[in-house]
A and B are shown apart, each in its own frame.
Chain A
Amino acid sequence: MEEGVITIAEEEVVVHKNPIVIEGLPDVGLVGTIAASYIVEKMGYKEIGYVESDLFPPVMVIHEGKLENPFKIYGNEGVVVVLSEVAIPPNAVYPLAGALADWFNGIDAKLVISITGLPAENRMDIEKPEVFAVGNNEEAIKKLKDKQMELMEEGFIAGHYAMMLRECYKRNLNAISLLAQCFPVYPDPGAAASTIESLEKFVPLGIDVGELMEKAEEIKLKARDLMRQTALSAPEMQKGVEQDMPIMYR
C-alpha cells in the first residue's frame, strides 16, 4: 500500500456501461450509509471492489467469519454503490474524493449521486423528512429541476460529499447530492428512506422502503457505534458550517 495514497481495487471484472454511481459514506445521521446498505441488500448487488489507504484507520471487518475490507464497492454494469462501515478520517477526505472521482471517470459514470443528510433542529417533530438536492454543474442542476427536486439554493455544504461534487466538476462528471432532513448524531433510517424514494427519480430500482422502516429500530441499534465514530470527526469536517449563512447570501 503506497503511503498517503487511496487505492481502488477491483475484485470482479465488470464491463461498466455508463453506470450511475450511488455513494453512501458515513456522515450526519448515517443517512447515506443506511440507504446504500439497504439498496445493496435489496438489489442483491455483489461486491466488485474495495477502497484502501493508510489514511484510513487500521480496521478490517469480519462478517460470517470472513475477513472483509470495511470500505466496499458493490454493483453491476449499470449501477455502482460505494459504502463504508467505518468513519472517514478528515485527512482522507480530499485524496478520497479525488481518487473516487478519477475512478468514476475511468468507468465513464453517467451520474454520481451522493446520499447524505441535512441536520434539522426540529427533526423530532418532522414525520417525513424532506429531501434537498445540489448539483455540481448546469446539466446536473437541470436534471434536478426536471425531476422536480427541491434545490438547496444558498448555504454551505461540508464533508466528503461536498468535495465529491467539486472533484467531479473538475473532471466534467455530472454529480448531485441528495440531502434528507435528519438527526445529526442519531442514525436516521427515516431520512434514509426519503432519499431512496428520491433516488428512484434518477435510478428506477423499484425499492420498497417498507422493510427499512419496519427494521428502523434494529438498524438504529446496530448503527450506534458507527454513528459515534462519525460524530467524533464532525467538528473537524467543519459540519457546523452547514448551519451558517454565507456572506454572499442573495
Chain B
Amino acid sequence: MEMERRIIRATWGYDGNLEPLYEVEDKEDEIRVTFDLPRVRKENVEINTTEDTVEVMAKMSDAVCWERWGSIQKKITFQAFRKQIRLPEPVDPEKASASFKNGILRINLPKVRRKVFIPIE
C-alpha cells in the first residue's frame, strides 16, 4: 500500500504548486513543524492554523521553470509551495508562533492539554 502510494502520489501539481519537504516533531508540550522553503522570503509566507491542522502557502521570489518535467515531459513552472498537515494532537492556534531563517520555516504549536497535578501519597 505504501509503495502504491509512493508511485502514484506526485509532490507537485499542474496549478504551479510544489509540496514542500516538512517534518513534524512531538516536543512534549508542543508540536513543532518545520518546512523547507527554498526561494521563499519571509514576507511571502502565509500560515493558517486550526486546532488540528496547519497550512502553509509560500510564494517563491522567482518562479522555477523546468523545460521537461518528469512524467509529463513538458515545460512547467512552479511559483509556490503549498501544504496542509493534519497534526497528531490538538493545539492552541492562538498561542502558535513561527520563525523563518535561511529558507526554513519553524512553527511552534503548543498542545491543548489540561494538566492535573497528582500528589504522591
Interface residues of A, Cβ cutoff 8 Å to B = 124-125, 183-187, 216-218, 220-221, 224-225, 227-228, 232
- Contact stretch, chosen from B49-57, B98-106, B108-116: B98-106
Decide: A221 and B104 in contact? CB cutoff 8 A: no
Given the complex, which residues of A lie within 8 Å of B36, measured CB to CB?
183, 186-187, 220, 224
Decide: A225 and B11 in contact? CB cutoff 8 A: yes
Instruction: Please name 24 pairs of A and B residues whose Cβ atoms are closer than 8 Å in the assembled complex, sorted by A.
Output: A124-B34, A124-B106, A125-B101, A183-B36, A183-B104, A185-B21, A185-B23, A186-B23, A186-B36, A187-B21, A218-B38, A218-B64, A220-B36, A221-B18, A221-B38, A221-B39, A221-B64, A224-B11, A224-B18, A224-B36, A225-B11, A227-B21, A228-B11, A228-B21
Given the complex, which residues of A lie within 8 Å of B102, measured CB to CB?
124
The smallest C-beta distance from A80 to any residue of chain B, in angstroms, reads 31
Given the complex, which residues of A lie within 8 Å of B39, measured CB to CB?
217, 221
Number of interface residues of B (CB under 8 A): 15
Q: Measured between alpha carbons, how far is A216 from B104 in the docked complex, in Å? A: 13
Q: Measured between alpha carbons, how far is A227 from B20 in the docked complex, in Å? A: 11
Q: Measured between alpha carbons, how far is A186 from B102 in the docked complex, in Å? A: 12
- Return the contact of A186 from the options B11, B21, B101 (Cβ within 8 A): B21
Interface of chain B: mostly helix, strand, loop or mixed: strand
- Return the contact of A124 from the options B21, B38, B64, B104 (Cβ within 8 A): B104
Given the complex, which residues of A lie within 8 Å of B64, measured CB to CB?
218, 221
Q: Report the nearest A residue to B103, measured CB to CB.
A: A217
Q: Give the interface centre of A184, A216, A220 by most chain B CB atoms within 10 Å.
A: A220
Q: How many A-B residue pairs have CB under 8 A?
A: 39
Interface residues of B, Cβ cutoff 8 Å to A = 6, 11, 18, 21, 23, 34, 36, 38-39, 64, 101-104, 106
Decide: A224 and B103 in contact? CB cutoff 8 A: no
Given the complex, which residues of A lie within 8 Å of B6, measured CB to CB?
232
**What are the 4 tightest A-B residue pairs by CB atom distance, in nearest-first order?**
A217-B38, A186-B36, A220-B38, A217-B39
Q: Measured between alpha carbons, how far is A224 from B34 in the docked complex, in Å? A: 15
The smallest C-beta distance from B30 to any residue of chain A, in angstroms, reads 15
Known: A124-B102, A184-B23. 9 other contacts (CB 8 A): A124-B106, A125-B101, A186-B21, A186-B23, A187-B21, A217-B103, A220-B103, A221-B38, A227-B21
Q: Measured between alpha carbons, how far is A104 from B34 in the docked complex, in Å? A: 40
Decide: B11 and A124 in contact? CB cutoff 8 A: no
Q: Measured between alpha carbons, how far is A216 from B102 in the docked complex, in Å? A: 11
The smallest C-beta distance from B60 to any residue of chain A, in angstroms, reads 9
Q: Report the nearest B residue to A220, measured CB to CB.
A: B38
The smallest C-beta distance from B59 to any residue of chain A, in angstroms, reads 14
Given the complex, which residues of A lie within 8 Å of B23, measured CB to CB?
184-186
Given the complex, which residues of A lie within 8 Å of B104, measured CB to CB?
124, 183, 186
Given the complex, which residues of A lie within 8 Å of B38, measured CB to CB?
216-218, 220-221
Given the complex, which residues of B lie within 8 Å of A216, measured CB to CB?
38
Q: Measured between alpha carbons, how far is A183 from B22 in the docked complex, in Å? A: 11
The smallest C-beta distance from B114 to any residue of chain A, in angstroms, reads 29
Q: Report the nearest B residue to A189, measured CB to CB.
A: B38
Given the complex, which residues of A lie within 8 Å of B34, measured CB to CB?
124
The smallest C-beta distance from B3 to any residue of chain A, in angstroms, reads 10
Given the complex, which residues of A lie within 8 Å of B106, measured CB to CB?
124
Q: Measured between alpha carbons, how far is A228 from B6 in the docked complex, in Å? A: 10
